[in-house]
Amino acid sequence: MQAFLANDLQQVQIFTMSANQFLQTAKNIIQSAADEGAIDQPKATAYIKEILHIILFYGQINRPKVDPEEILQESNRELSARYPDVFEMCRTHIPRRPPFTVLLDMIVDIVGTRHEDNVLPRLLSTINDMEVPNGDTLCRNIFVSTVINLCYFNDELMGSRTPNYFGASVSCRGDRQRKIMIDILCCYTWHSDISWAVCVANQYDQNAFRFPPRVRSMAFNIFTRGQSTQANQRVENLLARFGDQQVPRFLQIARDVNDRKFGSLVPRAPCERCFEMFPNIQFYPFYQAAEHAHWEYGNCAECESLSQLLKSQDQIVTRLHRNQFPTGRDELINAKNTRLTQNLIWLEFSFMGVVPFEDNQL
Ligand SMILES: [Zn+2]
């Protein structure tokens, strides 16, 4: 029993350290961006309120439950006076997306471009500032995702390429809590075709639709500073396979980021779940059937970035080739909603709605 309590205590400590470090770093970045005029103040406030709400909500669905006053350290306490509505709503209203996804959108907004050479270094240097002490070392912040990806559509017929759309894997501790976040994304956040693809894959182990040709996706594992040697070694091994041949873009990106010490990225092939849901996407690196995915459909970074692509590019939505299934879309989504409600009840969360703050989503 005592060992169990000690483990709980350590988990809560990691949770609160991660929460404060995440909040403090996000606040610093957004405030200096607002001061420099890179982003307007209402938008900056909306981002901070959204991140604050999600982190406090995670405390409410954590086991043991962690209340806002236990989470926030001195440097973040002023937030309760400034945003009292967030402190109320974290007990009754669910967020729309994980905190890292908000941070990713915020970085894209601040840098003012969707080019990977601008977004990825900025994101990775932010992540470096979020690591938390663990004994003598620094370890990964639990709110930071392990995988990031980007996708775009290269319309060779029209000779045009869309901008990049970024996504991150779901960052959430605990199996039930992770299911809650995936269900929230499916029911309230993602483009309806992506939510449907996740539901169809769950129900039928099949893909709901096919994208038009030349939708491309690249994914990377995010390594911590302590893992940078290991990350560099992996990238070197991949580079060695190409010898004198031209190095593919996804490897150039990882090499550049790692060489310039912004952080550490290692290219990552899609998992079997993503390949099943989106079989005709051009994935970089290519799909390899070696790894067994033990996570849920919808957990991966690909869903978020593809959802953003569809929300922004109607020309792709109109070109999806959808398959037919015996169970209708509404029924599948309702089942997700039911599981969401049941899990919230199980964790004694008094669910009254989705957070109504003005958000910055596409
Ligand atoms: Zn996947």
| 1 pLDDT tier (thresholds 50, 70, 90) | very low
pLDDT beyond 80 at 290:
no
pLDDT at 3: 59
CA–CA gap between residue 308 and residue 288 (Å, rounded): 25
Indicate whether this model's pTM tops 0.85: yes
Q: What is the pLDDT of residue 252?
A: 96
pLDDT band at 358; cut points 50, 70, 90: low
Distance 139 CA to ligand 1 centre (A): 24
Predicted pLDDT of residue 134: 81
Cβ atoms of 113 and 276 within 8 Å: the answer is no
Q: What are phi and psi of 212, to 5 degrees?
A: -65, 160
Q: How far is the CA of 191 from the centre of ligand 1 (A)?
A: 17
pLDDT (0 to 100) of residue 359: 54
**What is the DSSP secondary-structure string of 186-215?**
IIIIS-HHHHHHHHHHHHHSS-SEEPPTTE
Q: List Cα–Cα distances, 232 to 109, 116, 126, in angstroms.
A: 29, 19, 19
* Average pLDDT, rounded, for the chain: 93
Top pLDDT among 341 and 173 is at 341
Whole-number Å distance, alpha carbon 38 to ligand 1 midpoint, is 34
CA of 295 to the centre of ligand 1 (A): 8
Q: How far is the CA of 324 from the centre of ligand 1 (A)?
A: 23
Average pLDDT of the segment spanning 199-210: 96
Distance from the alpha carbon of residue 207 to the mean position of ligand 1, in angstroms: 13
Per the CB < 8 A criterion, the answer to whether 332 and 215 are in contact is no
All residues with CB under 5 Å from ion ligand 1:
271, 273-274, 300
Report the pLDDT averaged over residues 51-61. 97
